[in-house]
């Protein structure tokens, strides 16, 4: 049995109900959950490939599709996400099971009805009043395309695994805290306890029921009466509940008042008496007495403890990634096979350059780009001081001298004018680094380099270090397309936009560079006949027509290269990750927006600036904090956050101040004042796609607390 929305109230409760009867796989999106005896997996079901992968692997005989955005107000405000989850995801599940013998059960809602007169039967025409109801009805239409499917229109309450509370739990919590609450006297429903609903689903599955059914309690009441019934059963004073009209509450989304369900059809077809509201509340109470809420939350605690550590960045690996790697491990070739080539093809397709060469790290990518640029002793390579040491080391590996050019205090990227001042007749390359994901002003860099090439009558290569910037744009052009560069390098380290464990790539539009890069990642060895020297040993005549054929064992080393080969195992992971890059990008953007909004106007803290020329896929979220004026050091801030399980980082200690460079190249403090000033105040906050909204809020509130 596959259950979507396993972290939600119904998904979790169904898993508990069915776990002894079925082998269950539960899917969650942003809220990892642990449930005893059940395999839970992260899966973005709005992504067709992800759904396809999990269904192919699990091969379920029953799918209960509970995943849904259910907050009526949020649905009205966030229509595109609501559509993705309530409609597109449902369509994906239908599409991916269309030729399979799978029982699909879709959990819909009483909100598909308009609530004007109540006692709705399945024959009544749906007429949803709000976007939630509308998208759930559109989901029903998708499900109805599949034979043998079953749709339940319902309204439920129960014990939730998460802090988010269903109506019953919320009422109880407020009463326990002795708080006065309002109850709608003019909103009627037939809300059924989740475990009672589970029993109905159980019978329906066994009877192979098909079609659309209402499922709620056999009677109905107003929400005010419901609250009073809860108070009575749990022994609290009903005086705490005030009757009000739903019209007085100020909801933005329209809501029906009489959403009561006629449940005659299901009762007849499965020959089962549905509980009354009183009976449903009685079961809710009984499970409370048996410690069900504590038990399900206890199981969850273990997961929360794991996810309570929020690193500044981390990989996002799902089931499909694991399967892709496992498939390759079982295949004939685990290195330099079909996955490497396919990964390179997809990189080219995604980035828009002509060629890609995948290697085993971002550092290797930079080194090979420098080798292909023929950088050698006596040459100079200009790069940013605000980067990882690899952007400078690549020049050092070739015997060249790294030269550091200062950054903008707005974008923290290298300044084109500063580069201009550093170019001389020894300059062979410029390595602009797109820090934190935001592209450098590449048109200015390009124009300046062209001018200097003319001035010094020499070729100056532009090698973009885009380790942080996969999926970013500059002036509408994709980073990686090499629109302003000879080569662009990427890194696929776990904290980056996609990961291959370790890995990197070089993109280029130059065929000669491409051929040489391929050789250099493999010791400088070639098997391409036109690149070879030794004709006499390479070939032997094989036919009467005197045509020659390359000897089967033959290869030549024609350059000095390295073993920078990436494996098929890594590229299988990379390919699977690439499919999710856009959803990763969207999630990163959501988190950045949450941070920006929350920190706007916070004294002593500056949020990242985004140039109007850029559309950035943020790799890092760097804030500047005026540690001196808030009177607490960065180390103390980091330690305090760490105590709360929040791990921040500093990107970067200016490279020219590292002892190695100081000693070897006589660089030092004072060389790049902007980078040094930036370094005093910067702090990278956690940012990765698996971060939940509550993780993000936790970081926000911890930062705000530490600043006051
Ligand atoms: C800007 C930059 N360049 C290069 C690299 C090197 O990449 P890798 O760790 O894949 O070798 C990194 C890695 O963090 C980086 O951040």
Q: What is the pLDDT of residues 328-374, one digit of tens each?
A: 999 999 999 999 999 999 999 999 999 999 999 999 999 999 999 99
Number of residues written out for the chain: 708
Output the residue whose Cα is nearest ligand 1's atom 8: 362
> For the purposes of burial, counting CB atoms within 10 Å of the CB of 658, is it exposed (0-12), middle (13-18) or buried (19 or more)?
middle
| Res 391: pLDDT | 98
- For residue 155, what are the CA distances in angstroms to 111, 196, 575, 611? 9, 12, 41, 47
3-state secondary structure 191-237: CEEHHHHHHHHHHHHHCCCCEEEEECCCCCEEHHHHHHHHHHHHCCC
Kindly state if the Cβ of 433 falls inside 6 Å of ligand 1.
yes
Kindly state if the Cβ of 468 falls inside 6 Å of ligand 1.
yes
3-state secondary structure 153-202: EECEECCCCCCCCCHHHHHHHHHHCCCCEEEECCCEECCEEHHHHHHHHH
Range in 24-33, 137-146, 149-158 with the lowest mean pLDDT: 24-33
| Res 694: pLDDT | 78
The span from the CA of 304 to the CA of 698, in Å, is 13
Look at residue 544 and tell me whether its pLDDT is greater than 90: no
540: confidence class by pLDDT, cuts 50, 70, 90 = confident
Kindly state if the Cβ of 504 falls inside 6 Å of ligand 1.
yes
Look at residue 41 and tell me whether its pLDDT is greater than 70: yes
Atom of ligand 1 nearest to the CA of 433: 1
| Res 309: pLDDT | 87
Q: Which of 493, 498, 622 is the pocket-test mutation for ligand 1 (most atoms within 8 Å of CB)?
A: 493
Look at residue 584 and tell me whether its pLDDT is greater than 80: yes
Tell how far the Cα of 488 is from the centroid of ligand 1, in angstroms. Answer: 13
Mean pLDDT within 158-177: 88
| Res 305: pLDDT | 53
Q: Does residue 274 contact residue 196 with C-beta atoms inside 8 Å?
A: yes
Mean pLDDT within 92-112: 96
Kindly state if the Cβ of 467 falls inside 6 Å of ligand 1.
yes
Secondary structure class of 106 (helix, strand, coil):
strand
| Res 541: pLDDT | 67
Secondary structure class of 450 (helix, strand, coil):
helix
- For residue 702, what are the CA distances in angstroms to 115, 644, 679, 689? 44, 8, 22, 20
Residue from 481, 327, 474, 361 nearest 413 by CA: 474
Look at residue 254 and tell me whether its pLDDT is greater than 80: yes
Q: What is the pLDDT of residues 284-326, one digit of tens each?
A: 999 999 888 887 777 665 555 555 789 999 999 887 888 899 9
- For residue 483, what are the CA distances in angstroms to 51, 435, 441, 584? 35, 18, 12, 24
| Res 245: pLDDT | 95
Mean pLDDT within 52-69: 94
The span from the CA of 59 to the CA of 55, in Å, is 5
Atom of ligand 1 nearest to the CA of 387: 1
690: confidence class by pLDDT, cuts 50, 70, 90 = confident
Mean pLDDT within 452-478: 98
> In the chain, what percentage of residues exceed pLDDT 70?
97
Tell how far the Cα of 420 is from the centroid of ligand 1, in angstroms. Answer: 25
Kindly state if the Cβ of 432 falls inside 6 Å of ligand 1.
no
Q: What is the pLDDT of residues 369-420, one digit of tens each?
A: 999 999 999 999 999 999 999 999 999 999 999 999 999 999 999 999 999 9
Atom of ligand 1 nearest to the CA of 503: 10
- For residue 206, what are the CA distances in angstroms to 4, 21, 172, 199, 302? 20, 12, 34, 11, 34
**Which pair of structure tokens corresponds to residue 97?**
């099971």
| Res 399: pLDDT | 98
Q: Beta-carbon neighbour count of residue 670 at 10 Å?
A: 9
Kindly state if the Cβ of 388 falls inside 6 Å of ligand 1.
yes
The span from the CA of 247 to the CA of 257, in Å, is 10
| Res 301: pLDDT | 58
> In the chain, what percentage of residues exceed pLDDT 90?
85
| Res 692: pLDDT | 82
φ and ψ at 249, to 5 degrees?
-85, -25
Average pLDDT, the chain: 94
| Res 543: pLDDT | 57
DSSP H helical ranges for 521-580: 535-538, 568-578
Q: Does residue 88 contact residue 46 with C-beta atoms inside 8 Å?
A: yes
Tell how far the Cα of 466 is from the centroid of ligand 1, in angstroms. Answer: 9
Tell how far the Cα of 519 is from the centroid of ligand 1, in angstroms. Answer: 22
Mean pLDDT within 156-178: 89
| Res 22: pLDDT | 94
Kindly state if the Cβ of 387 falls inside 6 Å of ligand 1.
yes
Kindly state if the Cβ of 391 falls inside 6 Å of ligand 1.
yes
């Amino acid at each position: 049995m596959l259950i979507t929305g396993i972290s939600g109230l119904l998904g979790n409760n169904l898993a508990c109900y069915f776990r002894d009867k079925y082998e269950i796989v539960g899917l969650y999106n942003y809220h990892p959950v642990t449930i005893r005896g059940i395999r839970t997996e992260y899966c973005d079901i709005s992504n067709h490939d992800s759904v396809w992968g999990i269904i192919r692997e699990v091969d379920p005989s029953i799918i209960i599709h509970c995943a849904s955005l259910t907050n009526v107000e949020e649905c009205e405000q966030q229509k595109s996400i609501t559509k993705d989850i309530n409609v597109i995801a449902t369509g994906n599940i239908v599409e991916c099971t269309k030729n399979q013998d799978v029982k699909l059960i879709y959990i819909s809602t009483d909100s598909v009805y308009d609530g004007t007169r109540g006692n709705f039967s399945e024959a009544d025409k749906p007429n949803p009043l709000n976007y939630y109801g509308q998208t759930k009805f559109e989901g029903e239409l998708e499900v109805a395309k599949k034979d043998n499917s079953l749709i339940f229109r319902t309204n439920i309450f129960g014990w939730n695994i998460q802090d988010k509370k269903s109506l019953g739990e919320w009422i109880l919590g407020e009463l326990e805290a002795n708080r006065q609450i309002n109850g709608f006297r003019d909103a009627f429903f037939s809300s059924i306890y989740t475990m009672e609903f589970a029993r109905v689903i159980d019978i329906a599955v066994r009877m192979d029921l098909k079609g659309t059914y209402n499922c709620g309690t056999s009677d109905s009441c107003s929400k005010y009466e419901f609250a009073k019934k809860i108070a009575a059963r749990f022994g609290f004073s009903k005086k705490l509940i005030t009757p009000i009209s739903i019209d007085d509450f100020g909801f933005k989304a329209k809501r029906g008042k009489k959403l009561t369900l006629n449940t005659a059809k299901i009762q007849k077809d499965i020959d089962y008496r549905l509980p009354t509201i009183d009976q449903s509340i009685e079961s809710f109470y009984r499970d409370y007495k048996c410690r069900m809420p504590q038990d399900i939350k206890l199981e969850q605690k273990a997961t929360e403890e794991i996810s309570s550590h929020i690193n500044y960045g981390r990989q996002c690996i799902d089931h499909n990634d694991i399967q892709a790697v496992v498939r390759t491990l079982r295949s004939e070739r685990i290195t330099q096979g079909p996955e490497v080539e396919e990964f390179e093809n997809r990189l080219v397709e995604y980035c828009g350059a002509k060629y890609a060469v995948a290697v085993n790290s971002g550092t290797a990518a930079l080194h090979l780009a420098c080798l292909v640029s023929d950088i050698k002793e006596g040459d100079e390579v200009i790069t940013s001081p605000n980067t990882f040491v690899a952007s400078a080391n690549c020049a050092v590996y070739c015997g060249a001298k790294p030269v550091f050019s200062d950054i903008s205090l707005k974008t923290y990227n290298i300044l084109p004018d500063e580069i201009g001042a550093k170019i001389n007749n020894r300059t062979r390359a410029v390595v602009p680094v797109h820090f934190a994901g935001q592209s450098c002003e590449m048109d200015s860099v390009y124009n300046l380099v062209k001018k200097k090439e003319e001035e010094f009558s020499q070729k100056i290569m532009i090698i973009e270090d885009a380790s942080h910037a996969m999926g970013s744009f500059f002036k509408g052009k994709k980073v990686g397309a090499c629109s302003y560069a000879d080569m662009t390098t990427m890194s696929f380290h776990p904290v980056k936009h996609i990961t291959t464990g370790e890995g990197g790539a070089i993109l280029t539009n130059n065929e000669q560079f491409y051929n040489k890069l391929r050789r250099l990642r493999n010791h400088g060895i070639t098997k391409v006949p036109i690149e070879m020297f030794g004709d006499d040993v390479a070939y032997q005549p094989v036919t009467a027509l005197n045509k020659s054929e390359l000897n089967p064992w033959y290869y030549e080393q024609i350059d000095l290269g390295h073993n920078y080969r990436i494996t098929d195992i890594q590229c299988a992971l990379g390919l699977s990750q690439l499919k999710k890059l856009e959803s990763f990008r969207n999630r990163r953007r959501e988190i950045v927006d949450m941070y920006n909004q929350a920190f706007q106007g916070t004294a002593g803290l500056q949020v990242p600036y985004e140039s109007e020329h850029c559309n950035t896929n943020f790799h890092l979220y760097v804030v500047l904090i005026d540690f001196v004026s808030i009177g607490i050091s960065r180390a103390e801030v980091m330690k305090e956050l760490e105590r709360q399980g929040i791990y921040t980082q500093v990107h970067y200690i200016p490279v020219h101040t590292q002892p190695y460079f100081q000693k070897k190249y006589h660089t030092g403090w004072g060389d790049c004042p902007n980078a040094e000033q930036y370094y005093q105040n910067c702090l990278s906050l956690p940012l990765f796609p698996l971060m939940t909204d509550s993780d993000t809020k936790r970081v926000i509130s911890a930062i705000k607390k530490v600043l006051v």
